[in-house]
Structure 1
Amino acid sequence: MRLNDKTAVITGGASGLGEATARHFHGLGARVAIFDINRERGEAIATELGEGAMFHSVDVTSAASVEEAVEEVLARFGALHICCNYAGIAPAVKTVGRDGPGDLELFRKVIEINLVGTFNVARVAAYAMSKNDPVDEDGSRGVIINTASVAAYEGQIGQAAYSASKGGVVSLTLTMARDLARNGIRVNAIAPGLIHTPMFDSFSQEVYDSLAKQPLYPVRLGQPEEVARLAQHLVENNYMNGECVRMDAGIRMQPR
């Protein structure tokens, strides 16, 4: 499926990987709908991109919020072809903390946003995609890209909730691809390693340098634009389906 003249919903599109993907897709001729809770930043990006870009304040855990936002996308752009699920959080949750058992409510919140939120947006987007006319000789109607993490495979100390949520995304992806094959909708996931998102800007230089030395090669943090280019490939290569692609420069995370 070519990106030009297609419509993409991008959750978490107001920062980091989502913002980079929104900008990259828009530059390739796609219409982009930025879904995020950061209204100020999301509206600013949509205004900067101009024609073919819109923002909608969305709570990915809310069925009503997502359904309303997708309806607005359909009303403005006429169809939905691509869904990129980047929205997520990564607070530390240990099984046992200094003051007792791990925080169960925080664990639930991470699962709710990262895993349930991914399914919530994907299900609504997929229903809209299923109504599309095929756009190529393979009968393609849509593409969904979920975001996992290397933490799904090598979760570090303090990543109990995050790893569980991203492991769920990995498991969800093939099953969802099987569910949606009859609709002409492909589903893949990206499992990023250490990518230089705004979170890294708050780290000390010592911590930053330590992290940047961990990838195998190239020995540096990845850039959000590199993830955006992988997302482009997953959209455009019709033979990529049901796959979770690690993008981590060969890193294998240690316990801490």
Structure 2
Amino acid sequence: MALPRFNRILLKVSGEALMGQGQFGIDPAAVASLAEEIAQAKGEGHELCLVVGGGNIFRGMAAAAKGFDRATADYMGMLATVMNALALQNALEKAGIDTRVLSAIPMSSVSEPYIRRRALRHLEKGRIVLFAAGTGNPYFTTDTAAALRAAEMGCDALFKGTSVDGIYTADPKKVASAERYDKLTFSRVLSDDLKVMDAAAVALCRDNNIPIVVFNIRQPGNLAKVIAGGGTATIVQNGE
């Protein structure tokens, strides 16, 4: 299914995409490969901003389930996303792309504070903006942060890079007969609890009419292909 052209895009990448074949942490080769994918998409003339998760370093919800105070665990997870954003910034700038990291938790020694008008100005100047530290508040996921920033930046779509090529009726890694959807409505995703993103993120995109495109970011060249309207992906949007 051909996708429409989206000019300003927010890309949501999980922390696991930075692990490579490891089980934890940041693999420089994986980060460099991801940066090349993003640089290729940028070269096609799109305005790009990113939200990176922190699950490769620390998961707030998992820690809370083991006895951590939930708010404290979430703040720790936010700090993990800053580390990932800095790693990706480093790789992107090595690839010749001008970037800025804006953190929802102020830490002026390593990033700029998140200010909406400043972020918009960076995008207008052709820079890739990496949003770090989630929303700056506990109890919100980086999925929700991605939907929020996509709305604030006036993005045409939110692209979610995963390890599968779209949304399926069941986990295709566990159920061989699972079928992939080409397109879905926000209402269907919420009513069927399809676990694309958390419900708050899906509802925020629905209310602001921001399509969600789910695709496999681990396949070489796929990001640029999907952003250009080709490749294999599932699009979630309003209407049929």
| TM-score class, shorter | 0.3 to 0.5
TM-score, normalising length from structure 1? 0.41
Bigger CA radius of gyration: 1
Q: Which has the higher contact order (CA 8 A, sep 6+)?
A: 2
Decide which structure has greater helix share.
Answer: 1
